[in-house]
Structure 1
């Protein structure tokens, strides 16, 4: 005696599952496109065009005692989100705590239109964040790049001598993303997602 349910029962079960998968896919796309408007809203409320603040002034940095007995390796990383070419001009550098250092990053707009972009820094290990003091940085403000324009952009920093003794390497990583990217149509993507979900839910 067969215990398999009728084919109609399978289809009735698959319809709500398909609907849920499509809704989840659309929500994920919507959240991704909402990140930029959320960023702009925060900037408007706070009255600034950036979320990254200066960590130290040039005067404070010059008054910092240089610790010549220690050497810290600073590694540089660059990530781009959108039509941007972005990279550091050197992969790493050795510095003494308290020593003011300048490094350069190269960015290029690979589109035939003007774009606005913002860079957000992060650090590894996390405990080094409060000891890495940026004096000047392209991440302090939004950057406007004309069609196919390239720029060299400096980062001036100093490592606080109070950095824990066990930290010998700091990785400075930037993520550069476009702010005014045109929202692509999600109709085709949603349709493909729905078709894929339908095939997965109802292979017959």
Structure 2
């Protein structure tokens, strides 16, 4: 679930994306709220006059809090919709441990990794030349929003499923990031599963 807001450019409208989706959307308008559906599934809401319901600070991608989600839920219900928001507040950028690395069966420059993030093991396809088993790395989990605005989702790369992304310093928009390609390898001081950013 992602929230976008830019009062200066768009006005007092909160854009709530529940699922990344593309296609022929259907819209239902009740009061200040527009429900967006795709093939019968609710994928988002546009909430007009958002500041009447929630206090949003900042522009662009807004970090969700329990208070924000409660306010958005109230706006949705007061407009007459019954959909219940289900927010995941777990960190989206975490320390992972690369347990195994195998060559991609259909792409020379890609590797298929098994990455432990403490709560689960993820299969991630990675193209970085310096990735290897035994490393601690920064994993952007499904649902993470990169500094570029790109949302990480489950994907298939050349026929192999991939859930998440192993990040470089440049992708994380960290200062003094090297220009050459390669993921950021962490020291042993980091704990697998911990949030990489203060969240």
Task: Give the structure-2-normalised TM-score.
Answer: 0.21
Which protein, 1 or 2, shows the higher relative CO under an 8 Å CA cutoff with sep ≥ 6? 1
Q: Which structure's residues are more often helix, by fraction?
A: 1
The structure having more radius of gyration, on CA atoms, is 1
